[in-house]
Amino acid sequence: MFKIIGQIIKIMKEANVKLMQLIEFLMNAVQDTYEDEWYMDFIEFFNALGPLAAKYLSEFPTEESKFMWFLVKYTDREEKAIDIVMEQLPLIEVMINYLQHESLPLFTVSLRLIGNISSSTITTYSETFYKNGLLEALTIGWKRIELHPDLDKEVCWLLSNMIASNSVYITKSILNNAFITNKFKEILSFEKPGQT
């Protein structure tokens, strides 16, 4: 089905918001019905959808963000799915922007998707996010969600994935970020903030 949709999108001169909303609905409806190697069926679909998805997600960010949540589940199951997303969908800028968004749901979905992708054995993905301003965006977003400590462990998980890329400059940048290192100290401390 998604291969056919991908072929239709490729020949369309214009794709509008309603089409993307319909696609989000379809993906939400089928996301728990996959069989073996189900992720391969999305290559052609993502290739055709890429520019539309990037434009739609940038111009019409919604807290439900069904397409992004679909990608979280998609990349959570197979490493090959991570490769497909990175190769076929131009969404790095969208993910970085969502980390800085005032909306907690958009921050959360981007955090989890980047966390999944950066867990890949292909370390260049982490480097790509770093070069596109991940640490700056994450710092802005983390400052905004400080009242949600349940997300701290997910931020730390993402940062640990970045460090696991074995990039010296990424690790140094993380350790040289005063806000991040202070948060690490706070999280690792047995004392609650404000206690002496």
- Quick: pLDDT tens for 83-96: 999 999 999 999 99
The pLDDT, as a whole number, for residue 177 is 94
Q: pLDDT tens across 114-133, in order?
A: 999 999 999 999 999 999 99
Count of beta carbons in the 10 Å neighbourhood of residue 83: 17
The pLDDT, as a whole number, for residue 37 is 64
Interatomic CA distance for residues 154 and 58, integer angstroms? 24
| pLDDT higher than 70, residue 28 | no
The pLDDT, as a whole number, for residue 127 is 95
| pLDDT higher than 70, residue 59 | yes
| pLDDT higher than 90, residue 99 | yes
Average pLDDT over residues 159-178: 93
The pLDDT, as a whole number, for residue 7 is 62
The pLDDT, as a whole number, for residue 53 is 86
What residue ranges do the domains of the chain occupy? Answer: 1-90, 91-196
Interatomic CA distance for residues 67 and 27, integer angstroms? 7
The pLDDT, as a whole number, for residue 181 is 92
- Between residues 74 and 193, the one the model is more confident about: 74
- The 8-class DSSP code of residue 31 comes to T
| pLDDT higher than 90, residue 33 | no
Distances (CA, A) of 158 to 70, 96, 174, 182: 19, 13, 11, 17
Q: Token digits for 85?
A: 């997303």
Work out the pLDDT band at 60, boundaries 50, 70, 90: confident
Q: Token digits for 64?
A: 């439900």
Q: pLDDT tens across 170-182, in order?
A: 999 999 999 999 9
Percent of the chain with pLDDT over 90: 47
